[in-house]
Amino acid sequence: AQSVTQLGSHVSVSEGALVLLRCNYSSSVPPYLFWYVQYPNQGLQLLLKYTTGATLVKGINGFEAEFKKSETSFHLTKPSAHMSDAAEYFCAVSETGNQFYFGTGTSLTVIP
């Protein structure tokens, strides 16, 4: 069975500080992994995805994530937080690229 656990429903960081949003998954086969971001009153926008190949993937807005099979993790990072990064972030897993299983989301607050 596929599932995603996002540790920390709310994360606060200072502007310029490292952003680390945690995601652990379970899957019976090598998964596709995704991070989506949702700004207020907007849809889910893809930040980055891992399908195959290089385990460190880079996405939009300076975010990156590393697929660690041994830890079943796909944590999202950004070296320096910006005020515009404040949003809800969702990790998702899919075995087929068809049905997605989402985590409960992490709300990121950036403190000036």
Partner 1 sequence: EPEVTQTPSHQVTQMGQEVILRCVPISNHLYFYWYRQILGQKVEFLVSFYNNEISEKSEIFDDQFSVERPDGSNFTLKIRSTKLEDSAMYFCASKGSTFNTEAFFGQGTRLTVV
Q: C-beta of 71: minimal distance to partner 1 in Å?
A: 21
Residue 51 amino acid letter: T
Q: Which lies closer to partner 1 via its Cβ, residue 25 or residue 81?
A: 25
Helix or strand holding residue 32 (H, E): strand 32-38
Give just the sign of the alpha carbon dihedral 14, 20, 10, 62: positive
Residues 2-61 that bind partner 1 (CB under 8 A): 4, 32, 34, 36, 41-46, 49, 51
Q: Give the list of residues 6+ apart from residue 43 with CB closer than 8 angstroms, or none.
A: none
Q: Checking DSSP bridges between strand 10-14 and strand 106-111, what pairing results, if any?
A: parallel
User: Restricting to residues 63-82, which ones interact with partner 1 according to CB under 8 A?
Assistant: none
Closer CB to partner 1, 62 or 105, in the complex: 105
Nearer to partner 1, 17 or 86 (CB): 86
Query: Is 101 a residue that touches partner 1 (CB under 8 A)?
Result: yes
Give the residues across from 26 on adjacent strands. 3
Binding region for partner 1 (CB under 8 A): 4, 32, 34, 36, 41-46, 49, 51, 90, 92, 94, 97-105
